[in-house]
Amino acid sequence: MEYGIYHLTWRARHTAVRAALAGEPVVTPMELFIYMGGEPDDFTREIDRDCCADLRAHGYRREMVAVRFYGPLVERWVRHEHWPEDDQWPE
Find out whether 77 and 62 touch, Cβ atoms under 8 Å: yes
* Predicted model pTM: 0.83
Work out the number of other CB atoms within 10 angstroms of the CB of residue 59: 14
Average pLDDT over residues 9-36: 93
Q: What is the pLDDT of residues 51-80, one digit of tens each?
A: 999 999 999 999 999 988 888 999 999 999
Banded model confidence at residue 2, pLDDT cuts 50, 70, 90:
low
State how far the Cα of 83 lies from the Cα of 22, in Å rounded to an integer. 7
Position 13 scores a pLDDT of 87
Q: How many residues does the chain have?
A: 91
State how far the Cα of 76 lies from the Cα of 2, in Å rounded to an integer. 38
